[in-house]
Structure 1
């Protein structure tokens, strides 16, 4: 890896903090927007009178406000990370505690962006993988909250990965195409085998699409590593939660965050990890 200019890494982190602030809004509002859309569609199909969704609600309107006192958040109270520190983690109006998730999301987004900038250096690859990283972070948080991987996020990123790899930005186009196909079909096959054996759904269709997305960006070569890492981390996480009595054995758990983390690692360092493993077992 060539030495990267720290100015670019610092700029990427600042940009990531700003994007992280937006992701907080996206993660909170998008599921509600989708629910309102589904409710409106059901209302129309059933021919029910009245407006089922109420006032306009999107990523821009209404303005952000404190969830406790509904006081609108002023611009200087919405500076990524800094506002939380200056306000000491409390609303400026009602003094109720602000969830630590907001600054942690901003910090995570900033650090992820800095890592991508450091890894790729200034160029189109860094910009593209930053966009992928932001999308994966948003989808992971939504999946944790709602066990939902919205098509409105997954599918555009899947197609974008194929488009970018049509000029071999990260991998050759055939690898990306087969990555998308194999990614989807592998989990689809597991889903139906599990369903036929148990009569239960083992995962959601969003997981198929997410793995297809990762294959479209990183090629089919990253899929075995992604599945292995995500499965191991998922099992370990589930066992820890079970041991701490946070969940029951039959409690559904989102698999999307584990796929996203493993896939992100594979996109950045998949080749190096594979080479290290092959050398360790004497195949290289």
Structure 2
């Protein structure tokens, strides 16, 4: 089908060497970050050398990556595109939304087993609330984005994720099983409202010559968000699952409070950047 329907394009370009330094720095930055998060709660705590040394190495690798990529003619990670505020905030929303969703998806089963006391079969049924709402809202949001624009849908999606996190923070010890289904449904709705409109939002602000590069960066931020979300959720739960109920409650409170803060930060930054872009557009300045 791809061979039949995707039109062929002849693109004249000079062969360029692979950016191996950028690839190594990027792998080091992500790898050490995930390693640090994953081992933070495994006995030594967040303040131990085994925890913060990976974070330091990750930060140094990121700084080297940024300096290198700005100078390389064919960078592994096209950071120059992020100089456009609309693209930078779109990629940040992509990463954070997938991280927020995956933190909940890895933490929710442990929460349900510990607090709702349901069996594994019922757990599977409850967890379907997320993919069902995602499947329903995704195509719907795509159509609404083409008709009314993506910004309001992205804001609504981040708001839905924030509302789900707020419910967990406020009613952590008393949330009923239907209440947990509502939380998962809010996250599924939020992800559905964000994914397609945010892709459209970024591609609309991407120069045509960089559409392929931007597509790869969108896929990259999605995968980074999924990996970081899972690592954060499991890292915060590490060492507490199977302990006292209060220790588990503290871990879940930390997880959902972090989710709430990140969703509010993402929402605030997106609103501020889009408002600033609107003012610049009214002044005739390209953002």
TM-score category, normalised to shorter length: under 0.3
- Compare relative contact order (CA 8 Å, sep 6+) and give the higher one, 1 or 2: 2
TM-score (normalizing by structure 2): 0.24
More helix by share: 2
What TM-score, normalized by structure 1, do the two folds share? Answer: 0.25
